[in-house]
Amino acid sequence: MTKPESPKVAVIMGSQSDWPTMKHACEILDELGISHKPLIVSAHRTPDRLVSFAKNARSEGFQVIIAGAGGAAHLPGMTAAFTPLPVFGVPVESKALSGQDSLLSIVQMPAGIPVGTLAIGKAGATNAGLMAASVLALADEDLAHRLDAWRQARTEAVAEQPVDRS
């Protein structure tokens, strides 16, 4: 049962070092007026925290989970294994393999346990925030209007012709 005061979106990440990427998801959620909670939950370093978070996420009132991780990025998939909530995975750009390791770790889920996988890095985090907004907007007319306005503003910001920039 959803608690009315609970944040709707959990933005979890494997490490403090993921925050510069994952904060872009939080910024979009802020812009759209969606309550959210950023948390560090490591599949490898804090496995008990992961299990506790994922098993209790729905009863805590979360409706969508955004999970970012890099390298051997098991966080989104393991979270999806423990909860029926929609999980959007963000591959964080790793130093060794530029995030291709993260992407392949997150995207190749076995049939039956889905993770909606976004692009590597900032674009993925931003779009994960927008995907969360789209899901929540299905049952929230005010949010649907805010999302429409946000998209319209992006369209109107595109000039018809390019200009030189020094």
Q: By the criterion CB under 6 A, which residues form the site for ligand RP5?
A: 14-15, 17-18, 42, 44, 69-71, 92
Q: Using the minimum distance from each CB to ligand RP5, give the nearer residue, 97 or 149.
A: 97
Q: Using the minimum distance from each CB to ligand RP5, give the nearer residue, 69 or 133.
A: 69
Is 58 part of any known ligand binding site? Answer: no
- The angle at the Cα of 10, spanning 137 to 148, to the nearest 5 degrees, equals 25
Q: What is the nearest approach in angstroms of ligand RP5 to the Cβ of residue 21?
A: 8
Q: Using the minimum distance from each CB to ligand RP5, give the nearer residue, 42 or 126.
A: 42
Q: What is the nearest approach in angstroms of ligand RP5 to the Cβ of residue 95?
A: 8
Report whether 87 contacts 43 (CB < 8 A).
Answer: no
Q: Using the minimum distance from each CB to ligand RP5, give the nearer residue, 95 or 154.
A: 95
Is 140 part of any known ligand binding site? Answer: no
Give the contacts of 138 (CB within 8 A, at least 6 positions apart). Answer: 144
Report whether 104 contacts 114 (CB < 8 A).
Answer: no
Phi first, then psi, for residue 9 (nearest 5°) are: -120, 130
Kindly state the helix (H) or strand (E) to which residue 144 belongs, with its residue range: helix 141-156
In this structure, which amino acid lies at residue 132? A
Is 18 part of any known ligand binding site? Answer: yes
Binding residues for substrate are: 15, 18, 45
Binding residues are: 15, 18, 45
